[in-house]
Amino acid sequence: MSIKQDIVSNIKRGDLYAFKEFFDDYYIMLCVFAARYLKDDEQCKDVAQETLTGYWERREDFDDIYKVKGYLYTVTRNHCLNILRHEKVSLNYRKMYEEELESERVFEEQVIEQETYLLVRNAVDKLPPQMRKIIRYSLDGMSNPQIAKEMGIGEGSVKSLKQTAYRKLRAQLKGHFYLLLFI
């Protein structure tokens, strides 16, 4: 049984600590997911919180992490679409926007992107501190000379640590490399 499956089982039994850990992992992801539909950060936070609270209230209905994820993304999407339908936006703009947002292809791409983000974030978090810092700087668009200056180390060290970090990330993400192709 995987760690994610264990957390679902623990939540199903009413373990608040497991739910808090799960909530912390998915709250920001659901906020970002909702932000693709809504422009108001507070609405996005409300939608994410309501979705996760709804999962807690229905926790006994779920035995499988994949069903939980499907529930979270579907409920978030539907809640956002309901909000959009009730906002006072011109009929033509709303119709065009809803058709685009409701397409399954867009929905699937967004789910894959969020799941990939979680996988990569968790893999980066497992790196040693210096490598983690270098990778985060790289992901923020900093060059090796900029990273070296920021960290007070040589460019050769940055390059070497970055190569080692990427090798470790590839090893950690080897079973999920295909997801990176969609993003």
Q: Does the CA dihedral 59-63-65-69 come out positive or negative?
A: negative
Closest CA to 161 of 176, 171, 151: 151
pLDDT, tens digit only, all 183 positions of the chain: 455 668 899 999 999 999 999 999 999 999 999 999 998 999 999 999 999 999 999 999 998 899 999 999 999 999 999 888 877 655 656 566 666 766 767 777 788 788 878 888 888 899 999 999 998 898 888 899 999 999 999 999 999 999 998 888 888 877 665 554 543
For the entire predicted model, the pTM comes to 0.58
Which residue segments constitute the domains of the chain, with CATH numbers given? Answer: 1-102 (1.10.1740), 103-183 (1.10.10.10)
